[in-house]
Structure 1
Amino acid sequence: MNRHTMTPYVDAATLVELAQRAEENAAESCSCTRASLDGWQSQPLSIDEAQLVEIATLVREDDPEPTFAEYRPDNVQYWSADAPVAPRYFPYNRCGVWQCTQCNRLYLRYTEGGGYFVDRRIRALKSHLIDDVPL
């Protein structure tokens, strides 16, 4: 268990299993799908926080300073819907895995902080995009 979030840490292989199971069991429509979340987005107001529950984390307890290095093969953009999900790289190494209690879809969420702002970001988790690339 991660001492900060009290949710279990999952590695890439387990993340793929969770994502595949969620994809198999996802309901067709849900209020959480009003906005396309295929790529990173600032969390839309249309998502009801009460609908999401954190089920796992990609934050490793034994890594007090996760890297800010990004994994961007072929120079794919961070915001792109087809950007790979590389759990050891930023921002994934700072994400919680959240599940919609209504439709079972999984989302990755983290908080981006800058000099004068904080932005909660969210992205739908797609199993085929998970890439277990070493640092």
Structure 2
Amino acid sequence: MTLLDTPALRRLAEAATPTRPSCACRLQDARAWESITEERWPKALMEQVGTLRDPEAYEPTFEEFHPAGTRYDSPETPISVAHFPYNRCDVYRCSACARLVLRYTEFGGYYIDHRVRVVDAALIAG
């Protein structure tokens, strides 16, 4: 899988103009991190186009990037490839609407939580 850096992610995001406001993928409202179960993940529509996970990083940082005081779950939070959770994401594009999304899996003590966020090119930091 292609490792994407900040400029590559920005180029993909700028080129990914959704062709319609809503879609069968139902991901248009995931402007902040949203939990999405495997059953709800629109697998048939999603094409993995890259990853932000550096295979050379044994344990990517858990440090978050909030220069303007945002929070993890805020739609205005910058997308920083070098910071958590972006450094653990794969990048997908919907084949029906061209929407670009980030997806990662949160592993807690007794749970697994798949999360997704729409990529907004204007929020990509760096």
Distance 1:81 1:72 in 2: 12
Q: Tell me the TM-score normalised to structure 1 length.
A: 0.86
Deviations 1:23-58 (A, max 9, x none): 2xx211312236610000001655422111111000
Structure 1 residue 84 corresponds to structure 2 residue 78: yes
The percent identity for this pair of structures is: 37
- Which range is displaced more, 8-17 or 56-65? 56-65
The question of whether the paired residues in 2 share the 8 Å contact of 1:31 and 1:47 is answered with no
Q: 2:97 corresponds to which residue?
A: 103
For residue 104 of structure 1, report the CA deviation from its aligned partner. Answer: 0.8
Note closer, same or farther for the CA distance 1:95–1:57 as it changes in structure 2 (3 Å cut).
Answer: same
Structure 1 residue 51 corresponds to structure 2 residue 45: yes
For residue 66 of structure 1, report the CA deviation from its aligned partner. Answer: 0.4
TM superposition outliers: structure 1 runs of 4+ over 4 Å = 44-47
* Structure 1: stretches of 5+ with no match in the other structure: 1-6
- Count of residue pairs brought into register by the alignment: 124
> RMSD between aligned alpha carbons?
1.4
Q: 1:66 corresponds to which residue?
A: 60
- Of Structure 1 and Structure 2, the greater helix share is in 1
* Structure 2: stretches of 5+ with no match in the other structure: none
Q: 1:4 corresponds to which residue?
A: none
Q: 1:21 corresponds to which residue?
A: 15
Distance 1:87 1:121 in 2: 16
Q: Tell me the TM-score normalised to structure 2 length.
A: 0.92
